[in-house]
Chains A and B, each alone.
Chain A
Amino acid sequence: AQSVSQHNHHVILSEAASLELGCNYSYGGTVNLFWYVQYPGQHLQLLLKYFSGDPLVKGIKGFEAEFIKSKFSFNLRKPSVQWSDTAEYFCAVNPNTGKLIFGQGTTLQVKP
């Protein structure tokens, strides 16, 4: 079955630390990749997405993600986190079926 794995369930960082959240998927065909974020008390919103082209994708608020096809990975990065980045982050895959398959989510807590 198609699945999305986020290896880090809970991450705690200090402000200015670098962030990398892992995401792996199990699907061999063409995929469309997304990272969504859910800030406390708010709804999910898109951070960035990848369909084709440059495997390094830049999103909002200084986030970026790199698609590595050989590793079936789409890791999210940010060079320097801020307290306001405290949120839950979801990786999602749409394997050309119209259905978004989400990972379990990673809770990021940034200490001021």
Chain B
Amino acid sequence: DAGVIQSPRHEVTEMGQEVTLRCKPISGHNSLFWYRQTMMRGLELLIYFNNNVPIDDSGMPEDRFSAKMPNASFSTLKIQPSEPRDSAVYFCASSLAGGFQETQYFGPGTRLLVL
């Protein structure tokens, strides 16, 4: 199994530009999670989907952030416009059905730097 796939692995952009992060969950997994990791705030959940439907987006910092899951094998996290404080590592994770006891499998992350 290829695991969770994220692209790009690194992204450097200028303030004001649109950034799109991509994630392919493990085949057969029905739940997908987006996390952000920063030195100040640690790992925090931004949003998660069950069966392509957003279940909880309370962690999305503001309207500049949006996430979609058009099908079971693809999700995007978009930041528009980007700001320097968005610089972080963004992780995508997936699990079988989003159950409370399930293991979440993480991707390698996208390291975003906004100048």
Using CB atoms and an 8 Å cutoff, list the residues of chain A in contact with chain B.
32, 34, 36, 42-46, 49, 51, 90, 94-105
The distance in angstroms between the C-alpha atoms of A95 and B35, with both chains bound, is: 17
Q: When A43-B91, A98-B56 are in contact, do A90 and B43 touch as well, CB less than 8 Å?
A: yes
Across the interface, which residues of B come within 8 angstroms of A42, CB to CB? 108
Across the interface, which residues of A come within 8 angstroms of B99, CB to CB? 98
Across the interface, which residues of A come within 8 angstroms of B44, CB to CB? 102
Please state if A103 and B48 are interface contacts (CB–CB under 8 Å).
no
Please state if B109 and A43 are interface contacts (CB–CB under 8 Å).
yes
Chain A contact residues, majority secondary structure: loop
Interface residues of B in 30-74 (CB under 8 A from A): 31, 33, 42-45, 48, 50, 55-56
Listed by A's residue number, 6 A-B pairs whose Cβ atoms lie within 8 Å are: A43-B4, A43-B109, A96-B100, A98-B50, A98-B55, A99-B45
Q: Which residue of B lies closest to A102 (CB)?
A: B43
Give the contacting residue for B100; candidates A36, A97, A105; CB below 8 A. Answer: A97
The distance in angstroms between the C-alpha atoms of A51 and B102, with both chains bound, is: 10
Q: How far is the CB of B3 from chain A (nearest CB, A)?
A: 8
Please state if A99 and B103 are interface contacts (CB–CB under 8 Å).
no
Q: Which 7 A-B pairs have the closest CB atoms?
A: A102-B43, A44-B106, A104-B42, A43-B106, A43-B108, A51-B101, A96-B100
Please state if A103 and B91 are interface contacts (CB–CB under 8 Å).
no
Please state if B42 and A98 are interface contacts (CB–CB under 8 Å).
no
The distance in angstroms between the C-alpha atoms of A44 and B70, with both chains bound, is: 25
Give the contacting residue for B56; candidates A44, A99, A101; CB below 8 A. Answer: A99
Q: Is B104 part of the contact surface with A, judged by Cβ < 8 Å?
A: yes
Please state if A49 and B101 are interface contacts (CB–CB under 8 Å).
yes
